[in-house]
Amino acid sequence: MAALCRGRHRWKKTDCFHILTRALTGKHEYDLLVVGGGSGGLACSKEAAQLGQKVIVLDYVEPSVKGTKWGLGGTCVNVGCIPKKLMHQTALLGTAVKDAQKYGWNISGPVSHDWSTMADAIQNHVRSLNWGHRVQLQDKKVKYLNMKGSLLDEHTVKAVTKAGKETTLTAKNIVLATGGRPRYPTNIPGAMEHGITSDDIFWLKKSPGKTLVVGASYVALESAGFLTGLGLDATVMVRSIALRGFDQQMAGLVTDYMEAYGTRFAWNSLPKRVDKLSSGALQVTWVDTQTGAEQKDTFDSVLWAVGRAPETKALGLDKVGVQINEQTGKIVVREDESTSVPNIYAFGDIGEGRPELTPTAIQAGKLLARRLAGQGDELMNYDNVPTTVFTPLEYGCVGLSEEEAVRKFSKDGVEVYHAFFKPLEFTVAERDVSQCYLKVICERHRDQKILGLHFTGPNAGEVTQGFALGLQCGATYSHLQKTVGIHPTCAEEVTKVNITKRSGLDATVTGC
């Protein structure tokens, strides 16, 4: 240990003192030290404290490239799920106002939307959540420091304040839950200088105006969807396919609906450069990957939604030998969230192969806390995790996509029940129902166990959540048939589905 203090790490004397003291006495200041106060880290630290552990959590937010900052709670609360869902809700209300007139509401004068009113309200709500998290930590006796943590050894973390003041902390176990941040493309001139990311969009004081959203995964589509819903001119630039990793038939329905809803799509397009014109507008040059032709257009904002990078670089992982996947930068974790170094655990968005979702981070964090406190041995089950894409037509799913099911069980081994249905609320409003669809993917042989369930329609998250329980319990098609629907709902259409894709029969639901 003394040799380590003299060696290549060049640790400060105080760090060495803590490490040596702990090595000699075998005592740690804390039972658990959590680096990262986001969805996972907060859940883990609160659960551990409730089980009687002495816990400390460090959370520190580096401002975005554009200088956007936020408080305690991590991505979901500040720059993810929460402001996103509220902006989606804002957009849904805009559609509802249009529907309302068909239902007899007299809405006099043109309806318009004010970005700053929405932004203020959402930002205030987020701040209230930041405060709520602080209070909860205090109530549960979790020590919280607004400091950036990095590893010194398997029991020791260096914590640094914004002003550069350093402290060394020791704990029996260290949990890393530092999440991720949006990436910028590296090879596109002007991308970083002139573009924003999801770390900024929810904190803008002024409307982003005509916006180009680059990327086609769910962050991109959701953002373009709510921007369109707010009445803005929004274009999605897609270099390959939309919603990679999701069922591709469903992805097609989502983007078809968005196109009909007013979102523009630049398919097969690769951005090349972004230039700021003297007018202040951003001129984007891109290449059509099929024809090779170069195209240009001007936008008020360019939003990069080209993926996220795990926050692992500043953690000092190499110093202590925590193994990462060199390609993704994520930490290699076992099923119990342990890393290659004893006493160091990692989960949530920085865990290799883990879903990048809040509920999985929360659940995994709680279970880890229980195991570390010696009060349980249950592992996180990452199978059949439901999720929803909050695009103008929402898409909820749980279990396997049709492609995955066919890959796993062969085309012959899979039965797909499907239906195009008509949400009752769309009828009077005369809204297009072409993309309201559901499919239930089952094993074809044996008892027709349900492998996957997919739904595009209103309230897809609410619909999918309940059926996720069924999949956890190993539901079969026969269980679904025995389930009585709630009338009149869209969810009941799932219980009524009876046309197989194999039959080739028309899957359009008729009657009520």
Rounded to whole angstroms, the Cα distance separating 486 from 504 reads 28
One residue of 16, 30, 34, 38 binding ligand FAD per CB under 6 A: 38
Give backbone dihedrals phi and psi of 270, rounded to 5 degrees, phi first.
-120, 120
Q: 3-class DSSP state for residue 348? A: helix
Any catalytic annotation for residue 418? no
CB 455 within 8 A of CB 494: yes
Name the DSSP letter for residue 330: P
Partner from ligand FAD, ligand NA7, none contacting 75, C-beta within 5 to 8 A by type: ligand FAD
* Terminal Cα-to-Cα distance of the chain (whole angstroms): 75
Task: Give which of 176, 142, 112 is closest to 331, Cα–Cα.
Answer: 176
Characterize the bridge pairing of strands 30-35 and 166-176. parallel
Segment near ligand FAD (CB under 6 A); pick from 272-280, 337-345, 358-366, 396-404:
358-366
One residue of 35, 237, 331, 373 binding ligand FAD per CB under 6 A: 35
- Whole-number minimum distance, CB 181 to ligand NA7, in Å? 10
Q: Is 307 in the site for ligand NA7 (CB under 6 A)?
A: yes
One residue of 18, 28, 31, 37 binding ligand FAD per CB under 6 A: 37
Q: Which residues contact 19 (CB under 8 A, 6 or more apart)?
A: 1, 4, 5, 11, 152, 153, 156, 168, 170
Partner from ligand NA7, ligand FAD, none contacting 58, C-beta within 5 to 8 A by type: ligand FAD
CA 449 to chain centroid, in Å, comes to: 28
Q: Which residue is nearest to ligand NA7 (CB)?
A: 217
Binding to ligand FAD in span 84-103, by CB under 6 A = 84
Characterize the bridge pairing of strands 180-182 and 308-310. antiparallel
Partner from ligand NA7, ligand FAD, none contacting 88, C-beta within 5 to 8 A by type: none
- Checking phi first, is residue 192 left (phi over 0); if not, alpha (psi -120 to 50) or beta? alpha
Rounded to whole angstroms, the Cα distance separating 466 from 488 reads 17
Entry field: residues in the chain: 512
Q: What residues pair up with 294 in beta bridges, in sequence order?
A: 287
Task: Give which of 285, 287, 320 is closest to 191, Cα–Cα.
Answer: 285
Neighbour-count burial for 453-490, b at 16+ CB within 10 Å, e otherwise: bbbbbbbbbebbeebbebbeeebbbebbeebeeeeebb
One residue of 64, 123, 178, 217 binding ligand NA7 per CB under 6 A: 217
One residue of 127, 239, 496, 501 binding ligand NA7 per CB under 6 A: 239
Q: Is 61 in the site for ligand FAD (CB under 6 A)?
A: yes
Q: Is 366 in the site for ligand FAD (CB under 6 A)?
A: no
Q: Is 176 in the site for ligand NA7 (CB under 6 A)?
A: no
CB 428 within 8 A of CB 488: no
- Whole-number minimum distance, CB 246 to ligand NA7, in Å? 10
Partner from ligand FAD, ligand NA7, none contacting 239, C-beta within 5 to 8 A by type: ligand NA7
Q: Is 357 in the site for ligand NA7 (CB under 6 A)?
A: yes
Q: Which is nearer to ligand FAD, 148 or 431 (CB)?
A: 148
One residue of 77, 216, 369, 475 binding ligand NA7 per CB under 6 A: 216
- Whole-number minimum distance, CB 389 to ligand NA7, in Å? 10
Q: Is 36 in the site for ligand FAD (CB under 6 A)?
A: yes
Rounded to whole angstroms, the Cα distance separating 413 from 29 reads 56
Give backbone dihedrals phi and psi of 227, rounded to 5 degrees, phi first.
-65, -45
HEC string of 478-504 equals HHHHHCCCCCCCCCHHHHHCCCECCCC
Q: Is 392 in the site for ligand FAD (CB under 6 A)?
A: no
Q: Is 185 in the site for ligand FAD (CB under 6 A)?
A: no
**Six-digit token pair at 188?**
């596109």
One residue of 5, 81, 96, 260 binding ligand FAD per CB under 6 A: 81
Q: Which is nearer to ligand NA7, 223 or 338 (CB)?
A: 223
Q: Which residues contact 133 (CB under 8 A, 6 or more apart)?
A: 37, 42, 72, 73, 77
Partner from ligand FAD, ligand NA7, none contacting 361, C-beta within 5 to 8 A by type: ligand FAD
Q: Which is nearer to ligand NA7, 144 or 218 (CB)?
A: 218
Site string for ligand FAD, 195-224 (x = CB under 6 A): ---x--------------------x-----
Partner from ligand FAD, ligand NA7, none contacting 76, C-beta within 5 to 8 A by type: ligand FAD
- Kindly calculate the radius of gyration of the chain based on its CA atoms and give it in whole angstroms: 25
Q: Is 308 in the site for ligand NA7 (CB under 6 A)?
A: yes
Q: Is 391 in the site for ligand FAD (CB under 6 A)?
A: no
Task: Give which of 431, 390, 391 is closest to 100, Cα–Cα.
Answer: 431
Partner from ligand NA7, ligand FAD, none contacting 342, C-beta within 5 to 8 A by type: none
Segment near ligand NA7 (CB under 6 A); pick from 139-147, 235-243, 285-293, 451-459:
235-243
- Whole-number minimum distance, CB 412 to ligand FAD, in Å? 35
Q: Which residues bind ligand FAD (CB under 6 A)?
A: 35-41, 58-61, 74-76, 80-81, 84, 148-149, 177-179, 198, 219, 311, 314-315, 348-349, 356-359, 361
Q: Which residues bind ligand NA7 (CB under 6 A)?
A: 185, 214-220, 239-241, 244, 270-271, 305-308, 356-357
Residues forming the active site: 487
